[in-house]
Amino acid sequence: MDKLVIEGGKSLRGEVTVSGAKNAVLPILAATLLTEEPCVIKGVPNLRDTNTMLKILRSLGKNAEFDKGTVRVTQAKETNFVADYKLVSTMRASFCVLGPLLGKLKKAKVSLPGGCVIGVRPVDLHLKGFKALGTEITIEGGYVNAVAKNLKGNRMYLGGAYGSSVLATDNVMMAAVLAKGKTIIESAACEPEVVDLAEFLIKMGAKIKGYGTPIIEIEGVKYLHGAEHRIIPDRIEAGTFIIAALITRGDITIKNVMFQHLGALIDKLEEAGAHISRTDGSMRVRSRKRLTPINITTLPYPGFPTDIQAQIMSLMTVTPGISVITEKIYPDRFMHVAELNRMGAHIQREGPHAIVEGIKHLSGAPVMASDLRASAGLVLAGLAAKGLTSVSRIYHLERGYENMEMKLQALGAKIWREKE
């Protein structure tokens, strides 16, 4: 395995271009299972997770060619309804093949998912939605077996203990587009990635209204055809580079960004004193002075994203004063706290809250990534620290960030890869 080594203390300057959104491309690739006609997806990031999804599509009967950011999906053979444990267990988002398989074939056998260790993330909302459409569900041998004589539209409520679920909304929506009659999803996720999937499905011939709101209406159609689509920019990657500019006291122009997807983050950073100017499709982020502490609570979109929580915590460790970060989506998503404290941070966790006492600077240290976003937070901390920081288990980072070390090098960071 590789690790990243970072010599901190360098102000980042220059331009960086954001890649396509990981959390949009995975369900959109899964949605190609709904048709036997060719689909072309552009702006696809070259990630571990992307390549895992392509392997799953191939195992299910598709040809999936990936070249220079474009994926072309065609039918190779009869669609297989079984998604194997060896692939699905490595990536939670791969569970979203269940919806399109069920919609197209009226049956599916999909392994229960794996993914990051950030706390329990059950699939009960997915199964609740499928049952509402008339599906019989059994779980045996680590697989979800779903069978439906006919999918029938229905009204359902998909709110969970911590709010709406993006993946459950995606999954049920993909099954419902080929169901008979109208489906209404209440407490649907409103994230931009759900909107991107809905717009792709509409290009394929689906009839969907209300996407981007808590109530989505779907009128089932008999079949879907092929389509071409471009993935939206990754708002989490954009947010990570915004914080990279601030934590290094730098000056970065970020291209291919939709700042309307980053409202909660931008609002909080401007409250802290960040200088963020916006133009069409790009933004410039500068840090003229030390920021002031802020309090953050993660919430479903359009609230503050849980996927930026680790990165903002790294920034607050070097922001004088007391900041309080409350995690309401995944209350156990604090694996990075101990690693940041190894770098000299003063963070105390109390239940779903992390109390951060800002200090002048962090000190480089060997740290270990526990999940995708924690790894990004540790890289940011390393950029700001004095001395050398080594981040182990960077395969987590490669799941969601395309060429991150090269993008940071181009901005002036001293960061390189070494064997463990």
pLDDT at 412: 98
Cβ neighbours of residue 44 closer than 8 Å, sequence gap 6 or more: 20, 25, 29, 50, 66, 69, 70, 71, 231
- Cis upstream peptide for 302 (omega within 30°): yes
> Which of 324-328, 332-336, 354-358, 364-368 is the least confident region?
332-336
- Looking at residue 114, what is its pLDDT? 55
| 174, 102: one domain | yes
Q: Same domain for 10 and 29?
A: no
| Domain identity same for 76 and 128 | yes
What's the pLDDT at 241?
Answer: 98
What pLDDT, in 10s, does the model give residues 42-63? 999 999 999 999 999 999 999 9
pLDDT of residue 121: 54
What pTM, to 2 d.p., does this model score?
Answer: 0.96
Tens-place pLDDT, residues 228-277 = 999 999 999 999 999 999 999 999 999 999 999 999 999 999 999 999 99
- The phi, psi pair for 61, rounded to 5°, reads 110, 10
Q: Which of 39, 96, 116, 190 is catalytic?
A: 116
| Number of domains present in the structure of the chain | 2
Domain boundary, last residue among 200, 230, 260 = 230
- Same structural domain, 181 and 266: no
pLDDT in tens, 146-191: 999 999 999 999 998 888 999 999 999 999 999 999 999 999 999 9
The pLDDT tens digits of the residues spanning 111-150 come to 987 544 444 457 899 999 999 999 999 999 889 999 999 9
CA dist 178 → 7, 15, 104, 125, 294 (Å): 53, 44, 7, 19, 46
97 and 149 part of one domain: yes
Q: Measured on CA atoms in the order 30, 34, 37, 42, is the torsion positive or negative?
A: negative
Return the closest-CA partner of residue 274 out of 243, 309, 314.
243
Q: How many C-beta atoms surround the C-beta of residue 157 within 10 A?
A: 14
What DSSP state is assigned to residue 95?
G
- Exposed, middle or buried by CB within 10 Å (0-12, 13-18, 19+), for 58? middle
- Domain span at residue 53 reads 22-230
d(CA 81, CA 63): 16
Question: Is residue 225 domain-shared with residue 238, that is, in the same domain?
Answer: no
Please say if 96 is a catalytic residue.
Answer: no
Give how far Cα 269 sits from Cα of 16, 143, 264, 274, 360, Å: 19, 43, 9, 5, 19
Can you tell me the mean pLDDT for 348-372?
Answer: 96
Residue 14 shares a structural domain with residue 28: no
| CATH number of the domain that residue 237 is part of | 3.65.10.10
d(CA 365, CA 150) in angstroms, rounded, equals 57
C-alpha span between 367 and 238 (Å, rounded): 24
Residue 224 sits in the same domain as residue 239: no
Residues 255 and 162 in one domain: no
Same domain, residue pair 175 and 288:
no
- Same domain? For 78 and 113 the reply is yes
Verify that 292 and 361 share a domain, yes or no: yes
Last residue of a domain, one of 178, 203, 230: 230
Question: Where a domain ends, among 190, 214, 230?
Answer: 230
